[in-house]
């Protein structure tokens, strides 16, 4: 199993299922659920950073490499585990692939997925502070001028909405089971201070998530709009099929996004896992890493992504 930054907290649970003969889909869902429950992680699930109105909207998807069946949900409120709603769409509503908003929430109630609070006091504080002058300057220092422009636009829209005064990212988990089947799960709270209803690449098959036993599995984190425009997850597998190792395939797919004009550009990353267990990642940001754990390991290890 491999996971994006901060996804390592779920790897041990996923590996335990694989040791017992569980499926890659089960392992991915279990691992992502633990990340979604981590209140110290302000990128997904409980504690995820809110939109412009101070409401947490969550996106997730899961894909089976054996069948290329998938499930996805977007703009879900009041459910801390959108990955489980996505899994239920995949398994129990095969006539559809994606549900959004109130429809996804209705379906989650119908199949018995638990509701729960998602906005924590710390996430609310970060929401306020991130749109302050100091927060805007800090954002630019870390991610560049595109992040500053994004926050300034968010602040302008918030003011236009008349809202009263009140490190984003995503988790990717990829697994290969004993039967040789791959699965990919992705979950996110999306960009902080996003326009209400904005849907990330995490919910879009081919953009933030793609999985095919014939080639591999891939997933993205970071500037989702770029991944959507370039269908980056699918592009990783196309590059992999053309020859080369997983890190090279990720780098080639990310390189395609560098040609796209984007005044709000910020880092974009990709991960890849192959049917024979090879793995790799790439990032447009220096120092990026991912975590790896196998059934023979006692704990996870950290690997570097290739920088482009």
Residues serving a catalytic function are 170
In this structure, what DSSP letter does residue 97 have? S
Q: Quickly count: other Cβ atoms within 10 Å of residue 87's Cβ.
A: 28
Q: Could you tell me if 183 and 149 are in contact, meaning their C-beta atoms sit under 8 angstroms apart?
A: no
* 8 Å CB contact between 252 and 240: no
Residue entry with tokens 């003969």 = 21
CB atoms within 10 A of CB 51: 23
User: Which helix (H) or strand (E) element contains residue 282?
Assistant: strand 279-283
Counting DSSP H helices and E strands in the chain, the numbers are 10, 13
For residues 203 and 197, what is the distance between their CA atoms, to the nearest angstrom?
13
Q: How far apart are CA 50 and CA 261, in angstroms?
A: 27
- The Cα–Cα gap between 229 and 231 comes to 6
């Amino acid at each position: 199993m491999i996971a994006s930054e901060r996804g390592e907290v779920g790897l041990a649970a996923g590996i335990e299922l694989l040791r017992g003969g569980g499926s890659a889909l089960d392992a991915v869902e279990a691992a992502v659920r633990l990340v979604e429950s981590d209140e110290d992680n302000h990128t997904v699930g409980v504690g995820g950073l809110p939109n412009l109105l101070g409401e947490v909207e969550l996106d997730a998807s899961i894909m089976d490499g054996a069948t290329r069946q998938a499930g996805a949900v977007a703009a879900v409120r009041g459910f801390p585990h959108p990955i489980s709603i996505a899994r239920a769409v995949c398994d129990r509503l095969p006539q559809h692939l994606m549900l959004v908003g109130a429809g996804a929430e209705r379906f989650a109630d119908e199949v018995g997925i638990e509701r729960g609070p998602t906005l924590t006091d710390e996430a609310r504080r970060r929401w306020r502070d991130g749109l302050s002058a100091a927060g805007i300057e800090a954002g630019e220092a870390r991610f560049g001028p595109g992040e500053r422009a994004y926050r300034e636009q968010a602040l302008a829209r918030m003011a236009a909405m008349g809202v009263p005064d009140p490190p984003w990212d995503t988790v990717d988990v990829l697994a290969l089971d004993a039967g040789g089947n791959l699965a990919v799960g992705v979950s996110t709270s999306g960009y902080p201070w996003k326009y209400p209803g904005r849907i990330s690449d995490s919910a879009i098959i081919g953009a933030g998530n793609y999985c095919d036993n014939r080639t591999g599995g891939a997933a993205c984190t970071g500037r989702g709009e770029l991944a959507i425009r370039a269908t980056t997850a699918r592009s990783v597998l196309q590059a992999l099929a053309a020859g080369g190792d997983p890190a090279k395939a990720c780098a080639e797919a990310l390189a395609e996004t560098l040609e796209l004009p984007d005044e709000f550009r910020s880092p974009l990353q990709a991960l890849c896992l192959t049917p024979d267990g090879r793995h790799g990642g790439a990032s447009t940001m220096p120092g990026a890493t991912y975590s790896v754990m196998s059934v023979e390991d006692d704990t996870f290890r950290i690997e570097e992504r290739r920088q482009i």
